[in-house]
Amino acid sequence: MKYRIESDFLGEMKIPSNAYYGIHTMRAVDNFPIADVAISVYPNIVIAYAMVKLACARANNQLGLLDNDIYHPIVAACERIINGEFHDQFIVEIIQGGAGTSTNMNANEVIANVALELIGKEKGDYETISPLNHVNMSQSTNDTYPTALLVGFLKEYDPLLEAIKSLSESFHAKGVEFADVIKMGRTQLQDAVPMSLGQEFTAFGNTLLDDIKRLNEMSQLFLEVNLGATAIGTGINSHLDYPKIAVEALADLSGLPLVLAPNPIAATSDTSAFVSFSSVLKRVAIKLSKISNDLRLLSSGPIAGFNEINLPAVQAGSSIMPGKVNPVIPEAVNQTAFQVIGNDLVITLAAEAGQMQLNAFEPVLAVNILRSLRYMTNAMVMLRTKCVNGITANVEVCAKYVEQSPGIATFFTPHLGYKESARIAKKSLADGVTVREIIIKEGLMTEEQVNEVLHVDNLTKPNIQ
């Protein structure tokens, strides 16, 4: 392999001659062999960083600080990255020390070397176009990195909203399909009162749909950026008008209604937006896990369980028990939710651990937000396509549970009183006789009256006239 020699104030390093990254990137790769995952695994972050660098270059050029012969190649390089090129050159680890400096330097070097190549210069000719003096002009990691993260989150976030909406729609569709299937509701895993299976599935859909509103509210926090704050929020080494122009340029490039933080010093050190957004992701994860628990219970059996619904059989369930099928899709969703809940704890700890004018732990904050977004999106798509859409109801089983449950004694309380209804429920359970049979046999109500009380319309909605 051919190499070029690059240097920094720490010394020299060999860089592969065909690499668009440089010495700062190579030092980071050597220093942080942790997750074995490069930032390029999240293309929206790479694209967002290129947008930030382009916006900064545009502001510097407009203010007369960046000459056209340097500005135009930088713009062209950024545009190529935004369009998907050179992402394999973003090789630094997603978890890194330095509050994101390695990611910023990786972006600076790739952009500079792509720009150099575009004008016929050799990679590493930083006297012509410099990663630091030109690409990073008027910038610090401490304003470009969080700004790129927030833009990247908002780009990564749209698929999650679509996944929630689609999964909710699937549950609602099942709600319509199962509208006439009467079953027992349960509280504390004990028989409660009847409901329709359609009501149960519609409730699953509604509880998820509500979180779109919550997520949209929290995502608004990501629209406030500190671009132009430079090192600690004071804006040193930048023009007075630079922040406003740079943020407006980034808003134009990203299509997002970004605004400049009213207090850049506070915005540079504050990571509470991460915490707030993650808390809603955790809320979604908890709901999704609870729904998955319910699906596993409702499908348990098929003989020694509830067996009220059938989940699609997607793989053999045992290497020793022939014919066994397990609820593997809800189980995978449960585990995804556990991970997202754990991610939220990491985010909480990292946000709390920041000191003074900067939180040095933004990389791990970012990693866990991105993982939660991607994991939740993928889990919801999987649950919808491989499970929910194929669920069927065991109508006879559901009806049998309703008929045999002492819980339907509740419906006779307005007619017979609580004490008498409780006696009937107890007798039903002890003697193995239905509530219906006891009431008719003891002459407490006629068969026609009992049938009216237990009419399907009265079982699933307010029943006092």
Mark whether 339 and 447 lie in a shared domain: no
pLDDT at 321: 87
CATH number for position 169: 1.20.200.10
Mark whether 126 and 36 lie in a shared domain: yes
Residue whose tokens read 């990663």: 131
Contacts for 75 with CB less than 8 Å, ≥ 6 apart = 54, 57, 58
User: What are the tokens at 428?
Assistant: 């039903």
Find residue 38's DSSP bridge partners. 93
Instruction: Find out whether 114 and 81 touch, Cβ atoms under 8 Å.
Output: yes
Mark whether 36 and 87 lie in a shared domain: yes
pLDDT at 348: 96
Mark whether 338 and 199 lie in a shared domain: yes
Catalytic residue among 278, 318, 319, 421: 318
Mark whether 389 and 447 lie in a shared domain: no
Mark whether 311 and 390 lie in a shared domain: yes
Q: Answer with the one of 137, 161, 177 that is the final residue of a domain.
A: 137
Mark whether 300 and 355 lie in a shared domain: yes
Mark whether 345 and 415 lie in a shared domain: no
Mark whether 195 and 285 lie in a shared domain: yes
pLDDT at 460: 82
Nearest to 283 by CA among 369, 172, 203, 208: 208
Give whole-number Cα distances, 301 to 259, 396, 414, in Å: 55, 15, 36
Mark whether 120 and 153 lie in a shared domain: no
CATH number for position 55: 1.10.275.10
- Residue 214 phi, psi (nearest 5): -60, -45
Is residue 281, in this structure, part of any structural domain at all?
Answer: yes
Instruction: Give the residue numbers spanning the domain of 14.
Output: 3-137
The bridge status of strand 309-310 relative to strand 392-393 is: antiparallel
Is residue 86, in this structure, part of any structural domain at all?
Answer: yes
Is residue 465, in this structure, part of any structural domain at all?
Answer: no
Tens of pLDDT along 46-60?
Answer: 999 999 999 999 999
Is residue 239, in this structure, part of any structural domain at all?
Answer: no
Number of structural domains the chain divides into: 3
Is residue 11, in this structure, part of any structural domain at all?
Answer: yes
Buried-exposed string 103-139: b where 16+ CB fall within 10 A, e elsewhere: bbbbbbbbbbbbbbeeeebebbebebbbbeebbbbbb
pLDDT at 202: 97
Q: Is the torsion defined by CA of 158, 160, 164, 167 positive or negative? A: positive
Is residue 400, in this structure, part of any structural domain at all?
Answer: no
What residues of the chain score a pLDDT lower than 70? 465
Q: With 0-12 CB in 10 A as exposed, 13-18 as middle and 19+ as buried, what is 248?
A: middle
Distance CA 361, CA 447 (A): 71
pLDDT at 465: 67
Tens of pLDDT along 282-319?
Answer: 999 999 999 999 999 999 999 999 999 999 999 887 87
Is residue 242, in this structure, part of any structural domain at all?
Answer: no
User: What are the tokens at 321?
Assistant: 């028990």
pLDDT at 435: 93
Active site residue 278: no
Q: Answer with the one of 352, 376, 395 that is the final residue of a domain.
A: 395
Provide the 3-class DSSP secondary structure of residue 3: strand
Q: Answer with the one of 108, 137, 166 that is the final residue of a domain.
A: 137
Is residue 464, in this structure, part of any structural domain at all?
Answer: no
H or E stretch covering 183: strand 182-187
The bridge status of strand 190-196 relative to strand 182-187 is: antiparallel
Distance CA 48, CA 81 (A): 10
Mark whether 204 and 348 lie in a shared domain: yes
Mark whether 360 and 415 lie in a shared domain: no
- Measured between its terminal Cα atoms, the distance across the chain in Å is 86
Give whole-number Cα distances, 88 to 37, 39, 85, 110, 167, in Å: 12, 9, 8, 10, 33
Task: Give the Cβ contact number of residue 14 at 10 Å.
Answer: 13
